[in-house]
């Protein structure tokens, strides 16, 4: 049975927002890796805002895509050590 688009979009928005709240920049401030982490975080926040804009414009497909892309930036950053993230839960695949 296919997932309901509205439910899935809601779930991915929550997942991205919660992941942004849970992730903290791991490298020391002022280092190139900390700058990269800040860039990854900015991309994720931008995709969250974009997704919310698409949702408000009644475009759930692009909203879901934006939320998914935003989470991918955070998840990739966590995997390469740019973010400290919780070990438990379903926010990250590390």
**Fold of the CATH domain 2-84:** Substrate Binding Domain Of Dnak; Chain:A; Domain 2 (1.20.1270)
Query: In tens digits, what is the pLDDT along the chain, a chain of 94 residues?
Result: 467 999 999 999 999 999 999 999 999 999 999 999 999 999 999 999 999 999 999 999 999 999 999 999 999 999 999 999 998 888 988 7
pTM: 0.92
Report the distance separating Cα 2 and Cα 5, nearest Å.
Answer: 9
Q: What is the pLDDT of residue 1?
A: 46
Which residue's structure tokens are 């899935």? Answer: 8
Q: Where are the domains of the chain?
A: 2-84
How would DSSP label each residue in 1-46? -PPPHHHHHHHHHHHHHHHHHH-EE-SPTTSHHHHHHHHHHHHHHH
């Amino acid at each position: 049975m296919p997932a309901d688009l509205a439910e899935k979009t809601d779930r991915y928005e929550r997942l991205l927002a919660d992941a942004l709240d849970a992730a903290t920049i791991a490298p020391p401030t002022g280092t190139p890796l900390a700058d990269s982490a800040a860039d990854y975080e900015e991309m994720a926040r931008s995709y969250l805002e974009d997704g919310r804009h698409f949702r408000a414009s009644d475009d759930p497909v692009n909203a879901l895509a934006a939320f998914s892309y935003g989470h991918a930036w955070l998840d990739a950053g966590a995997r390469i050590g740019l973010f400290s993230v919780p070990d438990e839960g379903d926010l990250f695949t590390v």
